[in-house]
């Protein structure tokens, strides 16, 4: 296992974890852009652009892109988040060059107007699909309730109205500013031929221009407001709670991870024993999500509408008890054992390592081996967990709900 | 080589292994013949409730100790109930494999099935059932399967709310006694472990497990005939099913690859015709679902109501067109995808453990990856087209879910 990196003259970085024993390799372009980089009139453009990237280039039609990926047996896809857009392919090592040739090419898409209008329809279908799956939609809304006009609260997918209003010219400009050589990088993991990778990146991406892109990272202020959206079609009631938490650059993120594991993991946690095992709820879990300059503690609960008020009261009590009385050493040990096993299990495949290597580079421009993460988890103390809890009390949060109820008051 | 890693206990339980020192982990998949097709009439959901109760204490551990000990061993676990079997699977770091297996031996052999937790277990099952109501795509495909296969083969394992409400602790105990045992039990293990050690452990943990009775009356439930479910959703959800052949059939790979041409990769027919060329859908797919004795292709498309009729018509015509055959280039792309999938599957201990157990259930033997690769290599457009000519997709079960019914093309029931 060897980490290697290289920087082209135009600022484009290439990072890889090379594992000669792997059977396959994962390769991706990580673009430092997402919904937090959008102005209101551009809402949804990062995600829309991700779709358009597959619609062809001066060298390839959309059919060519899909066909050529399939010809090399690639498992490929893309996703857009609040702050990144990632294009990736898992391939057999002999197709590293072919996969990079396609991926690098589509980073410079044609953005043809006819494709633009056709793809809008697909995005509208995607929006409609999510609207049929509560609580989707409310998760976006909750970020706005909690963080107000902070850019991290921008919706990734946008709305039907905002996407419909977008023009090809807006997308061309957005692409020029955000997909520049100094705002994206190439990451790879598995059986990687790094020298060949660098040489080919030089050839394919060496002429891309830099743009010195900006991103604002204002401080967050959590607003503990409540919003309930009645939806008579729902069978279950969905309640989401959100507050800020340690950010991606904060070393306390490992303590935050252990805190959420003890408190709200989907098995064996306090929320599990109190709410899930007892059948009081369909599901209840708490997770920690990290972004640049901001983190989130996000709680999801689904239960029968008539039990909602009582369940939320129980949940709130669990949060307060932890803040007042802390956790037992055996709970902490169990959480560490669980998280460490997940780190090992979750990093065996090259495609999983790709997201880990890419994610660490995206957030912190650092390389972390699996052993680094295992050590970081091992060295967290219960005191550090309690410091996180004191700084980011779980008992204070913004609330969004969707379901049959008009109000969450019992 | 594979025969070296099969160990059948006298009581019937089969242990299968695929050791490899390329991993730090090991995964297992334990199949027990306790699926929902054994739910008696009026007790739909009994297999699921029983499975839910199995982890609520076993051997000398109560519910909490059981879960804590598994978590301290780092076991990432999941339990599921299918039509034929309950599947207890998990993955963990190698050193924890045998301690984890010994807890699972308690779970499947010595569960407490505590009466005082029955209501909690029942509530968990009912919550799951209610959750499906809020996922129209999942609900549609569940109901399509129920309509396409003869009962009990299309049953959803979740059961029915009215039946679940009536189940008792005695029912669960009875189901456990009747169904949980080494007869037809399969334990597949893949990853970093010592085969001989695991064989010894299996002998010790399961060797004296008493064989359950070979008794499985199936009670058929009346089929539903409606072709539309009214649902106040944004999208219309469209499901189509047509008959295919199961995994053990000599022409299975022909049938499977034909479905791959339809829906494998983004250059496949459904994705390019329905989504890429017409922008009708975000999600459209077809997949071959196989049981031991029967199989079917299930196809899904979700789209806004005003474009639903066109989506159904285009999707249906693509399914029918498949009967005219596939092109050599389509097959070449598919083979590339299958080849890389086979190799990447070897990078996942969970995927391999699941495959070992399933292969044994379907074929009564381990099918090495080399054999799958050879079968895929041997596929030709001619062999696939010969299969399709003899078995063209022409009779369909169709079900739609959404604000309004659609006009069904000819040949659809």
Residue B408 lies in a domain: no
Nearest to A342 among B76, B128, B266 (CB): B76
Residue pairs spanning A and B at CB distance below 8 A: 188
Residues A388 and A277 in one domain: yes
Instruction: Measure the CA–CA gap between A116 and A126, rounded to whole angstroms.
Output: 15
State how many domains chain B has.
Answer: 2
pLDDT tens profile A207-239: 999 999 999 899 999 999 999 999 988 999 999
Residues B70 and B171 in one domain: yes
Residue A71 lies in a domain: yes
Residue A272 lies in a domain: yes
Residue A410 lies in a domain: no
Residue A408 lies in a domain: no
Domain around A129: 2-205
Angle at A391 between CA A388 and CA A397, to 5 degrees: 100
State how many domains chain A has.
Answer: 2
Residue B304 lies in a domain: yes
Place of tokens 């709900």: A401
Instruction: Measure the CA–CA gap between A265 and A274, rounded to whole angstroms.
Output: 12
Residues A254 and A330 in one domain: yes
A67 to B333: CB separation less than 8 angstroms, yes or no: yes
Residue A348 lies in a domain: yes
Confidence of residue A128 (pLDDT cuts 50, 70, 90): confident
Q: What would the mean pLDDT of B178-183 be, rounded to a whole number?
A: 96
Specify the range with the lowest mean pLDDT, choosing from A27-36, A248-257, B109-118, B404-413.
B404-413
Nearest to B134 among A92, A120, A235 (CB): A235
Residues A250 and A178 in one domain: no
Residues A231 and A100 in one domain: no
pLDDT at A167 over 60: yes
Residues A85 and A188 in one domain: yes
Domain boundary among A205, A238, A269: A205
Residues B71 and B166 in one domain: yes
A382 in Cβ contact with A32 (< 8 Å): no
pLDDT at B232: 87
Q: What is the ipTM of this complex?
A: 0.91
A83 in Cβ contact with A34 (< 8 Å): yes
A90 to B340: CB separation less than 8 angstroms, yes or no: yes
Residues A67 and A121 in one domain: yes
CA dihedral A380, A385, A391, A397 (to 10 degrees): 130
pLDDT tens profile B196-237: 999 999 999 999 999 998 876 677 777 777 899 999 888 999
Residues B142 and B272 in one domain: no
Residue B152 lies in a domain: yes
pLDDT tens profile A13-41: 999 999 999 999 999 999 999 999 999 99
Domain boundary among A176, A205, A234: A205
A66 to B130: CB separation less than 8 angstroms, yes or no: no
Chain A closest-CA separation from residue B316 CA (Å) = 19
pLDDT tens profile B12-68: 999 999 999 989 999 999 999 999 999 999 999 999 999 999 999 999 999 999 999
A24 to B344: CB separation less than 8 angstroms, yes or no: yes
Residues A178 and A235 in one domain: no
pLDDT at A110 over 90: yes
Residues B76 and B130 in one domain: yes
Residues A195 and A240 in one domain: no
Confidence of residue B412 (pLDDT cuts 50, 70, 90): low
A373 in Cβ contact with A343 (< 8 Å): yes
Residues B263 and B130 in one domain: no
pLDDT at B1 over 50: no
B336 to A73: CB separation less than 8 angstroms, yes or no: yes
Q: What would the mean pLDDT of B131-137 be, rounded to a whole number?
A: 92
pLDDT at A334 over 60: yes
Residues A327 and A277 in one domain: yes
A268 to B68: CB separation less than 8 angstroms, yes or no: yes
Residue B412 lies in a domain: no
Structure tokens that stand for B262 in this block: 């339809």
Residues A297 and A239 in one domain: yes
Instruction: Measure the CA–CA gap between A174 and A158, rounded to whole angstroms.
Output: 16
Residue A86 lies in a domain: yes
Q: What would the mean pLDDT of B81-110 be, rounded to a whole number?
A: 97
Nearest to B235 among A63, A118, A132 (CB): A132
pLDDT tens profile A359-371: 999 999 999 999 9
Q: What would the mean pLDDT of A105-110 be, rounded to a whole number?
A: 98
Domain boundary among B172, B206, B240: B206
Residues B183 and B256 in one domain: no
Residues B174 and B276 in one domain: no
**Interface check A310 vs B, CB under 8 A:** no
Residues B193 and B314 in one domain: no
Residue B15 lies in a domain: yes
pLDDT at A184 over 50: yes
Confidence of residue B411 (pLDDT cuts 50, 70, 90): low
**Interface check A19 vs B, CB under 8 A:** no
pLDDT tens profile B297-349: 999 999 988 899 999 999 999 999 999 999 999 999 999 999 999 999 888 99
**Mean of all residue pLDDT scores within chain A:** 96
Tell me the residues of chain A between 277 and 296 that have a Cβ less than 8 Å away from chain B: 277-283
Query: Residue B144's closest CA among B155, B158, B130?
Result: B155
Residues B258 and B375 in one domain: yes
Q: What would the mean pLDDT of A57-82 be, rounded to a whole number?
A: 96
Q: What would the mean pLDDT of A315-340 be, rounded to a whole number?
A: 97
Rg (CA), chain A: 22
pLDDT at B73: 97
Residue B407 lies in a domain: no
Q: What is the largest CA-CA distance in chain A?
A: 65
Nearest to A282 among B128, B234, B275 (CB): B128
Residue A217 lies in a domain: no
Please list, in sequence order, all residues whose beta carbon lies within 8 angstroms of the beta carbon of residue A310, skipping any fewer than 6 positions away: A280, A410
pLDDT at B2: 46
pLDDT at A58: 96
Residue A293 lies in a domain: yes
Residue A16's φ and ψ, nearest 5 degrees, are: -150, 145
B269-274 contact pairs (CB < 8 A, 24+): B269/B318, B269/B321, B269/B322, B269/B330, B270/B299, B270/B301, B270/B315, B270/B318, B271/A66, B272/A63, B272/A66, B273/B314, B273/B318, B274/B301, B274/B311, B274/B314, B274/B315, B274/B318
Residues B320 and B239 in one domain: yes
Q: Where are the beta strands (DSSP E) in A179-273?
A: 184-190, 226-230, 237-245
Residues A132 and A255 in one domain: no
Residues B170 and B276 in one domain: no
Residues B327 and B198 in one domain: no
Task: Specify the CATH number for the domain of residue A335.
Answer: 3.30.830.10
Instruction: Measure the CA–CA gap between B408 and B399, rounded to whole angstroms.
Output: 9
Residue B413 lies in a domain: no
Q: Write the Ramachandran bin of A268: left for phi over 0, alpha for psi from -120 to 50, otherwise beta.
A: left
Task: Specify the CATH number for the domain of residue B37.
Answer: 3.30.830.10
- What's the whole-model pTM score? 0.94
Residues A66 and A171 in one domain: yes
Domain around B332: 228-402
């Amino acid at each position: 296992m060897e980490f290697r990196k290289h920087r082209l003259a135009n600022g484009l970085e290439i990072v890889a974890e090379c594992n000669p024993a792997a059977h396959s390799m994962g390769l991706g372009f990580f673009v430092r852009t997402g919904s937090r980089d959008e102005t209101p009139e551009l809402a949804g453009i990062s995600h829309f652009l991700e779709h358009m990237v597959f619609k062809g280039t001066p060298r390839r039609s959309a059919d060519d892109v899909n066909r050529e990926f399939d010809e090399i047996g690639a498992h490929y896809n893309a996703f857009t988040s609040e702050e990144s857009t990632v294009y990736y392919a898992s391939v057999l090592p002999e197709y590293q060059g072919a996969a990079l040739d396609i991926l690098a090419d589509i980073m410079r898409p044609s953005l043809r107007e006819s494709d633009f209008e056709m793809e809008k329809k697909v995005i509208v279908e995607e929006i409609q699909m999510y609207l049929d799956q509560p609580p989707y939609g409310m998760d976006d809304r909750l970020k706005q309730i909690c963080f107000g006009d902070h850019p991290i609260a921008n919706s990734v997918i946008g709305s039907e109205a905002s996407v419909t209003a977008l023009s090809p010219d807006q997308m061309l400009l957005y692409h020029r500013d955000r997909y520049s050589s100094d705002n994206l990088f190439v990451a790879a993991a598995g059986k990687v031929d790094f020298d060949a990778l660098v040489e080919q990146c030089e050839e394919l991406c060496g002429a891309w221009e830099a743009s010195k892109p900006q991103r604002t990272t204002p401080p967050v202020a959590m607003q503990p407001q409540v919003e309930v959206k009645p939806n008579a079609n729902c069978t279950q009631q969905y309640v989401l709670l959100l507050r800020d938490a340690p950010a991606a650059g904060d070393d306390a993120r490992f303590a935050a991870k252990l805190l959420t594991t003890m408190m709200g993991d989907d098995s064996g946690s306090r929320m599990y024993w109190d709410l899930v095992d007892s059948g009081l709820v369909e599901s209840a879990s708490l997770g920690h999500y990290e972004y640049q300059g901001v983190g989130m503690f996000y709680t999801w609960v689904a239960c029968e509408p008539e039990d909602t008020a009582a369940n939320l009261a129980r949940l709130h009590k669990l949060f307060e008890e932890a803040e007042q009385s802390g956790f037992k050493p055996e709970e902490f040990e169990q959480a560490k054992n669980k998280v460490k096993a997940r780190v090992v299990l979750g990093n065996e495949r090259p495609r999983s390592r790709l997201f880990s290597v890419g994610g660490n580079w995206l957030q912190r421009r650092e390389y972390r081996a699996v052993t680094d993460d295992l050590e970081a988890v091992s060295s967290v103390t219960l005191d550090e967990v309690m410091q996180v809890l004191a700084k980011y009390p779980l008992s204070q949060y913004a609330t969004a709900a969707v379901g049959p109820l008009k109000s969450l008051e019992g | 080589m594979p025969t070296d890693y099969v160990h059948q206990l006298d009581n019937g339980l089969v242990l299968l292994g695929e050791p490899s020192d390329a991993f730090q982990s090991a995964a297992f998949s334990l199949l027990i013949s306790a699926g929902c097709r054994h739910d008696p009439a009026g007790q739909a959901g009994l297999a699921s409730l029983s499975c839910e109760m199995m982890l609520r204490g076993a051997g000398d551990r109560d519910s909490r100790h059981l879960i804590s000990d598994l978590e301290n061993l780092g076991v990432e676990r999941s339990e599921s109930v299918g039509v034929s079997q309950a599947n207890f699977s998990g993955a963990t770091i190698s050193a924890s494999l045998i301690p984890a297996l010994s807890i699972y031996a308690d779970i499947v052999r010595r569960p407490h099935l505590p009466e005082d937790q029955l209501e909690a277990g029942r509530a968990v099952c009912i919550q799951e059932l209610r959750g499906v109501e809020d996922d129209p795509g999942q609900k549609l495909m569940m109901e399509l399967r129920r309509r396409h296969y003869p009962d009990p083969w299309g049953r959803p394992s979740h059961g029915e709310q009215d039946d679940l409400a009536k189940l008792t602790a005695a029912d669960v105990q009875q189901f456990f006694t009747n169904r949980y045992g080494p007869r037809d039990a399969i334990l597949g293990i893949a990853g970093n472990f010592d085969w001989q050690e695991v064989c010894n452990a299996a002998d010790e943990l399961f060797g004296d497990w008493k064989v359950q009775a070979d008794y499985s009356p199936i009670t058929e439930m009346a089929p539903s005939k409606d072709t539309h479910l009214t649902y106040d959703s944004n999208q219309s959800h469209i499901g189509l099913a047509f008959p295919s052949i199961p995994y053990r059939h000599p022409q299975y790979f022909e049938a499977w690859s034909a479905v791959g041409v339809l829906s494998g990769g983004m250059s496949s027919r459904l994705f390019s015709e329905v989504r890429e060329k017409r922008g009708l859908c975000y999600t459209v797919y077809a997949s071959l679902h196989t049981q031991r004795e029967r199989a079917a292709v299930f196809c899904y498309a979700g789209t806004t109501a005003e474009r639903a009729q066109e989506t159904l018509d285009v999707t249906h015509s693509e399914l029918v067109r498949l009967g005219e055959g596939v092109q050599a280039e389509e097959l070449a792309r598919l083979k590339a995808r299958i080849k890389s999938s086979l190799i990447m599957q070897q990078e996942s201990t969970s995927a391999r453990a699941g495959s070992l157990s399933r292969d044994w259930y379907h074929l009564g033997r381990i099918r090495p990856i080399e054999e799958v690769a050879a079968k895929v290599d041997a596929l030709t457009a001619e062999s696939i087209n010969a299969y399709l000519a003899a078995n063209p997709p022409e009779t369909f079960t169709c079900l739609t879910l959404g604000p309004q019914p659609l006009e069904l093309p000819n040949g659809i029931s």
